[in-house]
Amino acid sequence: MHSPALSLSKPELLACCGSHAWAERMARLQPFISAEQMLEAADRVWWELTPTDWLEAFSAHPRIGEKGDAVASAEQSGVRDAAQDILTRIMGGNRVYEQRFGYIYIVCASGKSATEMIEILESRLRNDKETELRIAAEQQRQITRLRLEKWLISR
């Protein structure tokens, strides 16, 4: 039996990744014949983007520990019940990170506790700007992939 082709609307693509260039390129590649083809294209297109496109995607996220949309809130569920001292460290770390790198701290938060997220943040503050941008881009790629996988399950 042949599975139906996979196509996401532009709003659905932007909900997965806030880069307009990524969403436009993915839209042009549709329809996908399989989930595997779609996920491979998503990764390939992501790494073909410019750092400016990556920064646009990062800016579509709320800061770790801040309220965002339902998707972001679910992804950051590890901070929901965190102790106040951990939340304070995350908020302070967010500010230091933004001052150092010029964009929000981005981490694939799914399945991570608030303690894990602050430990990752504090360790990443030691990176140089070029290294950190690549790490942040990889985290965004992982987030995008998780969101695409959730879309596939829900359809």
Task: Quick: pLDDT tens for 73-127.
Answer: 455 555 666 788 888 888 999 999 999 999 999 999 888 888 899 999 999 999 9
For residue 99, is it within any domain?
yes
What's the CATH number where 59 sits?
A: 1.10.3330.10
Q: Which helix (H) or strand (E) holds 83?
A: none
User: What pTM was estimated for this model as a whole?
Assistant: 0.88
Domain range for 124 = 10-154
Verify whether residue 61 is a known catalytic residue. Answer: yes
Q: Are 118 and 93 in contact (CB under 8 A)?
A: yes
For residue 23, is it within any domain?
yes
Query: How is residue 65 annotated by DSSP?
Result: T
Q: How far apart are CA 32 and CA 101, in angstroms?
A: 36
Q: Are 16 and 147 in contact (CB under 8 A)?
A: yes
Query: Per DSSP, what are the bridge partners of residue 49?
Result: none
Among residues 61, 63, 112, 124, the one annotated as catalytic is 61
> How many domains does one find in the chain?
1
For residue 80, is it within any domain?
yes
For residue 77, is it within any domain?
yes
For residue 57, is it within any domain?
yes
Q: Measuring CA to CA, how many Å separate 119 from each of 80, 110, 126, 142? A: 17, 15, 12, 19
For residue 1, is it within any domain?
no
